[in-house]
Amino acid sequence: IKSRAPISGGSFGIWGGVYSAFECLLKGVRSTEDPLNAVLSGFLTGGILALRRGVRAAGGSAVGGAALLATIEGVGVGLDRVAVLGVLGGSAGAGTAAGGLLKEVVAPENFTFC
């Protein structure tokens, strides 16, 4: 484990850098910031980084990257919804009100990485 740690850390760093680049690119191209950007970025990152092993491996890694990011984004959206509904008192009509509040709470317009 000790001898593989630098390799694993480097791979993780490269994956994170390529993912961030794709996410910023998609945010600029699509002019929106939503979970779909993260899923598409995971798809593109997995595919690009596995391309040296062949098209078939790239396709599998692309689907795996998209599935991983879809899971992460889905859990995040679910937790945000639970938090917002908790703040609003959990009333039955809170689902429609949560949409506007959720955007304000999760992604304020003045907070960007790109």
Q: What is the pLDDT of residues 35-77, one digit of tens each?
A: 999 999 999 999 999 999 999 999 999 999 999 999 999 999 8
Please tell me the distance from the alpha carbon of residue 111 to that of residue 101, in angstroms, as a whole number.
16
Range(s) of the domain holding residue 40: 34-86
The single-letter code of the amino acid at 110 is N
pTM: predicted TM-score of the whole model, two decimal places = 0.71
Domain count, the chain: 1
Residue 77 maps to a domain? yes
Token duo for residue 83: 């938090």
In angstroms, how far is the first alpha carbon of the chain from the final one? 35
Task: Flag whether 74 is in a domain.
Answer: yes
Does residue 15 form part of some domain?
no
Q: Which of 35, 103, 102, 101 is nearest to 74 (CA)?
A: 35
**What are the distances in angstroms from CA 60 to CA 21, 28, 39, 42?**
21, 27, 15, 12
Residue 68 lies in a domain: yes
For residues 32 and 54, is the Cβ–Cβ distance under 8 A?
Answer: no
Q: Which of 95, 100, 73 is nearest to 85 (CA)?
A: 95
> If pLDDT is split at 50, 70 and 90, which confidence band does 94 have?
very low
Is 78 within a domain? yes
108 domain-assigned: no
Question: Does the residue 18 lie in any domain?
Answer: no
Could you tell me if residue 71 is inside a domain? yes
What is the percent of the chain with per-residue pLDDT over 90, rounded to a whole number?
Answer: 63
